[in-house]
Homo-oligomer: A and B are copies of this chain.
Amino acid sequence: MPQKVTIATVARHARVSRQTVSNVLNAPHIVREETRQRVQEAISALGYRANQAARQMRTGRSRLIATRIEPTRDGINGSVLDRFLHGLTDAAGVAGYRIVLYTAADDTAELATYDDLLGAYDLDGFVLTGTDHGDPRTAWLAERGVPFVTFGRPWDTPDQHPWVDVDGASGAAQATNRLLETGHRRIAFIGWPTGSGVGDDRRSGWRTALRAAGLDPTDLDRETSDGIVQGEQVARNLLALPDPPTGLVCASDSLALGALRAVRALDRPVAVTGFDDTPVAEAVGLTSVSQPLGRAAARCMDLLTRILDGPRGDGPHQVLLRPTLVVRQTA
């Protein structure tokens, strides 16, 4: 049973005072080089690790960042957050932080959880995902001066806080352009009801791309809630038009999967693209828009540490990343 190694142990071993050891760790430049090395050797010889609890008590900083883990609603889209979370954990580790998870049934419960996490664990900051119009969470956090970054744009308030997002319009445009390049002229969009920031963004990309090609998007724009069944129904509907589309750009892989089912019933080929490049897309060979989740997570941590670790060279506080189109069999 090895004795506990504290800063005092290291100090004795290197024949300096505790404060000098502390300085070596927190302000190396004010310690003479020779002394610094001696202390460093003692640290690694003894396997010393600063006790976070003690440090936190004194400094009020925990080096802990919270993020929420969702109850895998759809199951398909869940994997997006899963991958983001992995990237976040990685990036946090590099920056010397750790990710703490929490769940919340609804918004009220979530705010209560914030209070708890801040009060009991002295969390340094939050990473929020899936923000939508009029999100109460950002206001709550901003009000209390808690550092946070959102993955997802604040759709109402312009740039009140740091965020990272993926350009959904660009993604949808890329998918649409791919179809245009392969000769399609009648390209429909299957998306969510207007009103959701993410959904409207993707829709606008499709619309813009069509218009840029001199085509009219009227009649080809459909709205439905997310899901395979819904996608199939809407797609069937579209394909029964007098002048049916030959390409379907979908706002999610779930919708695209449904669309694929509708297409399979036909004898003519219809191109389909999805969104998010979920494992399902890869499995069934669905062309889909892939979000750079690892990079997004890294940028989130970057923005957050910039706030936490003091005013470093500024750079932008808002980051918009471009997704890429992964071309497979369906388009």
* Chain A interfacial positions (CB closer than 8 Å to B): 47, 49-54, 56-57, 62, 64, 69-72, 74-76, 78-79, 82-83, 85-86, 89-90, 93, 98-103, 115-117, 119-122, 228, 254, 257, 278-280, 282-284
* A98 touches which of B51, B71, B100, B279 (Cβ 8 Å): B100
Q: Chain B contacts of A82 at CB under 8 A?
A: 72, 78-79, 82
Copies in the complex: 2
- Whether the Cβ atoms of A76 and B283 lie closer than 8 Å is yes
- Whether the Cβ atoms of B76 and A72 lie closer than 8 Å is no
- Whether the Cβ atoms of A54 and B52 lie closer than 8 Å is no
Q: Chain B contacts of A72 at CB under 8 A?
A: 79, 82-83, 86, 279
Q: Chain B contacts of A257 at CB under 8 A?
A: 283-284
A173 to chain B, nearest CB (A): 25
Across the A-B interface, the 6 shortest Cβ-Cβ residue pairs: A49-B119, A75-B279, A53-B56, A82-B82, A89-B101, A53-B57
Is the contact region of chain A dominated by helix, strand, or loop, or is it mixed?
A: helix
Kindly report which residue of chain B lies nearest to residue A96, judged by CB atoms. B120
* A86 touches which of B70, B86, B122, B280 (Cβ 8 Å): B70
- Whether the Cβ atoms of B57 and A282 lie closer than 8 Å is no
* A121 touches which of B78, B93, B98 (Cβ 8 Å): B98
Q: Chain B contacts of A99 at CB under 8 A?
A: 100-101
* Interchain residue pairs with CB less than 8 A apart (24): A47-B119, A49-B115, A49-B120, A52-B53, A52-B121, A53-B53, A53-B54, A53-B57, A53-B62, A53-B121, A53-B122, A69-B89, A71-B86, A72-B79, A75-B282, A76-B279, A76-B280, A78-B82, A79-B82, A79-B279, A82-B82, A98-B100, A98-B117, A98-B121
* A100 touches which of B100, B122, B280, B284 (Cβ 8 Å): B100
- Whether the Cβ atoms of B103 and A101 lie closer than 8 Å is no
- Whether the Cβ atoms of B103 and A86 lie closer than 8 Å is yes
A82 to chain B, nearest CB (A): 4
Question: In the complex, what distance in Å separates the CA atom of A207 from the CA atom of B50?
Answer: 54
Given contacts A53-B53, A90-B103, list 11 more A-B pairs with CB under 8 A.
A49-B120, A57-B57, A71-B86, A72-B79, A75-B279, A78-B83, A86-B103, A98-B101, A98-B102, A98-B121, A280-B280
A20 to chain B, nearest CB (A): 21
